[in-house]
Amino acid sequence: MTWRLEALRGKFTQIKQPSRDAAADTAPVEKTVEDIIANVREHGDTALREYSLAFDKVNVTNFEVTEEERRQAVADLDPQTREDTEFAIANVRRFAAAQLATILPLEIESLPGLHLGHRVIPIETVGCYVPGGRYPLLSAPVMTIVPAKVAGCDQVIACLPPNAHPAMIAGCHLAGADRVFRVGGAQAIAAMAYGTETIPSVDKIVGPGNAFVNEAKRQVFGQVGIDQLAGPSEIFIIADETANAATIATDLLAQAEHDVRTRVGVVTTERKLAEDVLREVERQLEDLPTAPVAGAAWKNYGEITVVEDEETMIAYSDYIATEHLQVHTRDPHATAKKLRNYGSLFIGELASVVYSDKCCGTNHTLPTMAAGRYTGGLWVGSYVKIATHQWLDERGVAAVAPAAVRQSATEKLEGHRRAAALRLRPKQLAAE
């Protein structure tokens, strides 16, 4: 990544620089998480109870949320909240189903008698981590559970902190979770990876969390699959002289209120706009109820960069590879086609990140810390495997076996050579 930044030197000016490095600004959690995982593997539910009491201040007797408790949580939702949750579920389900329809099985006859293909196979058991977080994020279970159900996973379990808002349990139920457990943090990741007396082991773990959850996912990867390693939320907005400073400031602060470590920024070709955004952010913070969080994020991780032209703006944006990227330019669709590194793209000033965060249908579980250079976000394809297969008739054997025999002999792998030659007719063998 350093060479990319060096190529931009002298082509941009930072009106506001972040005062801290989000990538390096992480507590040393590796050893703590390692100990938690080992304890859960050895002591199962007993360890989970100890951690729930120590970390969440809750004495959990039954980890699994009963069907009656789930239904009661739904019944306790006020009607509008339930309607809005179901609206989000319907939109996410509709988009996930449309995405799944693009992932097709394949069968081709590559050469006469050589048949190749792949199947689209749902992952059998998926574990969805649902963070409790600073706020009751009602969309969190929707984003992880609904695509799993659309993909056709046999069993979808959800883990959420024991002190999570009851509406989160309702969200898990409405989204279609097969089982819901009251356990959070790194211990939940360990439980889903290795299983306990109560919680089944899964094949893949998805969902965002804090630094401990993220580290736990990293450590159990291999034993299970994971979706990604996600850090604090991010938003950048690229803008030209047609953009509105107040709108940009509002969207930046909307994301900044997620967490004090949220990374927010603007990259623009217009210096006046940059200066207006700086003033507007400070003005809006004055009466924003979540200013203690959003203001800290802005102070420590906020960035405003002025670049000399659109080409540099595109290059700088691709270097940042932000989680959420909004495009506020004269022709946002044309600008969008030139971008390649981001988690999710929001084209035009009417497309706010908050719509995707809550209910529009695309997934809000996205890559951070420049991981958008090599991956997209969570989607229905994260819950299926593309597994290849092949079958041959005698014509196919005649086509591929001689080359396999010769290559095996060159490599001095006699067992390979024999297996490749076994299916050839004697006259074909003689020719070799």
Instruction: Give the C-alpha separation, 233 to 213, whole Å.
Output: 15
Considering 324, 328, 349, 364, which one is annotated as catalytic? 324
Q: Spell out the residues 6+ positions from residue 229 whose beta carbon is closer than 8 angstroms to its own.
A: 214, 217, 218, 371
**Is 83 among the residues known to form the active site?**
no
Domain shared by 128 and 257, yes or no: no
35, part of any domain? no
Question: In Å, what is the CA distance from 325 to each residue of 254, 353, 406?
Answer: 14, 8, 52
Residues 427 and 362 in one domain: no
**Domain-embedded: residue 424:** yes
**Are 252 and 263 in contact, with CB atoms under 8 Å apart?**
no
Q: Catalytic pick from 215, 234, 257, 323?
A: 323
CATH number, domain of 131, equals: 3.40.50.1980
Is 255 within the bounds of a domain?
yes
- The reported pLDDT for the residue numbered 134 is 65
Greater confidence (153 vs 17) lies with 153
Average pLDDT over residues 292-315: 96
Please state, rounded to an integer, the average pLDDT across all residues of the chain. Answer: 94
Residue 415 pLDDT > 60: yes
**Of 172, 201, 227, which closes a domain?**
227
Residues 155 and 216 in one domain: yes
pLDDT at 311 over 70: yes
Q: Identify whether residues 308 and 409 lie together within a single domain.
A: no
The pLDDT, as a whole number, for residue 72 is 97
Task: Answer yes or no: do 195 and 236 share one domain.
Answer: no
Average pLDDT (270-287) is: 97
Average pLDDT of the segment spanning 80-88: 96
pLDDT at residue 22 is higher than 80: no
Per-residue HEC secondary structure of the chain comes to CHHHHHHHCCCEEEEECCCCCCCCCCCCCHHHHHHHHHHHHHHCHHHHHHHHHHHCCCCCCCCECCHHHHHHHHHCCCHHHHHHHHHHHHHHHHHHHHHHCCCCCEEEEEECCEEEEEEEEECCEEEEECCCCCCCCCCHHHHHHHHHHHHCCCEEEEEECCCCCHHHHHHHHHHCCCEEEECCHHHHHHHHHHCCCCCCCCCEEECCCCHHHHHHHHHHECCEEECCCCCCCEEEEEECCCCCHHHHHHHHHHHHCCCCCCEEEEEECCHHHHHHHHHHHHHHHCCCCCHHHHHHHHHHHEEEEEECCHHHHHHHHHHHCCCEEEEECCCHHHHHCCCCCCCEEEECCCCCHHHHHHCCCCCCCCCCCCHHHCCCCCCHHHHEEEEEEEEECHHHHHHHHHHHHHHHHHCCCHHHHHHHHCCCCHHHHHHC
Domain that holds residue 414: 393-431
Task: Tell me, yes or no, whether 321 and 341 share the same domain.
Answer: yes
Residues 200 and 309 in one domain: no
Domain count, the chain: 3
Band of residue 25 on the pLDDT scale cut at 50, 70, 90: low
Residue 209 maps to a domain: yes
Residue 155 has pLDDT above 80, yes or no: yes
Answer yes or no: is 382 within a domain. Answer: no
Residue where one domain finishes, among candidates 208, 227, 246:
227
Does 31 map to a domain? no
Residue 326, CB-side half-sphere exposure with 13 Å CA sphere = 30
pLDDT of the residue at 105: 98
Q: Are residues 277 and 205 in the same domain?
A: no
Residue 77 located in a structural domain: yes
Res. 428: pLDDT tops 70: no
Q: What percent of the chain has pLDDT over 70?
A: 95
- Domain stops at, among 227, 243, 275: 227
pTM: 0.92
Same domain, 257 and 306: yes
370 shares a domain with 244: yes
CA 115 – CA 103 distance, rounded (Å): 20
pLDDT reported for residue 24: 60
Residue 237 φ/ψ, nearest 5 degrees: -125, 125
Burial class (CB in 10 A: 0-12, 13-18, 19+), 323: buried
What average pLDDT score do residues 111-134 get? 94
- For residue 224, what are the β-bridge partners? 221
Task: Give the span between the Cα atoms of 386 and 100, in whole angstroms.
Answer: 12
In a domain, 24, yes or no: no
Provide mean pLDDT across the span 117-137. 90
323 is catalytic: yes
Residue pair 401/390 in contact by the 8 Å Cβ criterion: no
**Is the same domain home to 202 and 268?**
no
pLDDT at 2 over 70: no
- 194 and 248 belong to one structural domain: no
